[in-house]
Amino acid sequence: MQDLLQPIMNGILLGGLYAIIGIGLSMIFGIVKLVNLAHGDLMILASYLSLVFMMLLGVPPLVTFVFAVPAMFFIGFVLQAYLINRVLGKGMEPPLILAFGLSIITQNCLLLVFTPDARSLISSLSVTTIQVAGFLNIPVIYLIDFLIGLVVISVLHQFLQKTYMGRAIRAASDDEGAAQLMGINTKNIYAYAMGIAMITAAIAGVLVGMTFTFYPHTGPQYLTIAFGVVIIGGLGSMIGTFLGGIILGLAQLLGGYFLGPGLQLLSGYVILLIVLTVRPQGIFGRVT
């Protein structure tokens, strides 16, 4: 029994990180109606940006948020305003192909600049653990992942619920035409939404880099996790995304515990399939 508590604890904590990975994808799908296939790669781009800032300035990884967050907001805003907005409203395929292209370009640019070597954002936090009750070893970085996940989801929720721009974003997400009739420049709103989604990707990228190793082509792996989180939790629900992350994290670590580490990913996706079968709109999703 005591053995079991360790993977449960780690699974829940890791879920916080998964939630930040998923929330950006969920937001853009809900608001812009775009399946951002490049989400994972842009997140890994943020990991590399953080690495560059660490090397240039000699600061610890968490401090690089200060640079990575505005940089990724800017990248997201520009991508949406000058590239993605141009192909919206022209059918399903063009935005999808564009996102796929962005994914390939990002991966290969990273490969060109940083070589295929494994990297990580090393700090003392990554190797420290706290012992609880004598038998639970909590990795400090997992705890940080979880807490930041909680903060990111809460702040984003408050932003969308309480601010004027958040309300305009929800209006544009409900009905683009009607939002335009209210005087909202929806293309502009989309650019801000992508900027905000890239802020979450920046935070996720730095945390992933501190928690795991990454390569130029790790992005799609995290895109799959983001899809899993969003499908389990349900689109458009913040609480759902957070719990979706925790469920996926738990499924993976418990699967790893019972079936061996090789089957860790599989058990996550089995849960995903079960949710899709039983409740296709996700646990907290609304039926539309």
Partner 1 sequence: MLKVRNLDVHYGDFQALWDISIEVGKGKVVSIIGANGSGKSTLLNTIAGLLKPSHGVIEFRGESIHKLGPHEMVARGISLVPEGRRLFPSLTVFENLIIGSYAPRSRKKRDLALGKVYELFPILKERASQMSDTLSGGEQQMLAIARALMSDPSLILFDEISLGLAPLIIKNIYQTVREINQQGITVVLVEQDVKRSLKAANMAYIILEGKVVLQGEPSTLSEKTVREAYFGL
Chain residues binding partner 1 by CB under 8 A are: 164, 167-168, 170-171, 173-175, 177-186
Question: In whole angstroms, how close is the CB of 150 to partner 1 at the nearest point?
Answer: 23
Nearest CB to partner 1, comparing residues 103 and 186: 186
Could you tell me the CA-to-CA distances from 123 to 13, 24, 51, 52, 166 in Å, in that order? Answer: 19, 26, 12, 15, 35
Nearest CB to partner 1, comparing residues 125 and 184: 184
Question: In whole angstroms, how close is the CB of 154 to partner 1 at the nearest point?
Answer: 18
Nearest CB to partner 1, comparing residues 78 and 171: 171
Question: In whole angstroms, how close is the CB of 192 to partner 1 at the nearest point?
Answer: 13
Nearest CB to partner 1, comparing residues 168 and 201: 168
Nearest CB to partner 1, comparing residues 66 and 182: 182
Q: Let me know: does 47 contact 230? Beta carbons within 8 Å.
A: no
Please tell me what DSSP assigns to residue 138: E
List helix spans (H) across the chain.
2-31, 39-57, 65-79, 85-87, 93-114, 140-162, 164-174, 176-181, 186-211, 219-233, 238-259, 264-278
Question: In whole angstroms, how close is the CB of 221 to partner 1 at the nearest point?
Answer: 32
The crossing angle, in degrees rounded to 10, of helices 264-278 and 238-259 is: 130
Closest among 243, 231, 226, 234 to 272, alpha carbons compared:
231
Question: In whole angstroms, how close is the CB of 82 to partner 1 at the nearest point?
Answer: 17
Question: In whole angstroms, how close is the CB of 159 to partner 1 at the nearest point?
Answer: 14
CA-to-CA distance for 18 and 271, rounded, in angstroms?
A: 15
In sign, the C-alpha dihedral spanning 54, 146, 213, 226 is: negative
Nearest CB to partner 1, comparing residues 130 and 167: 167
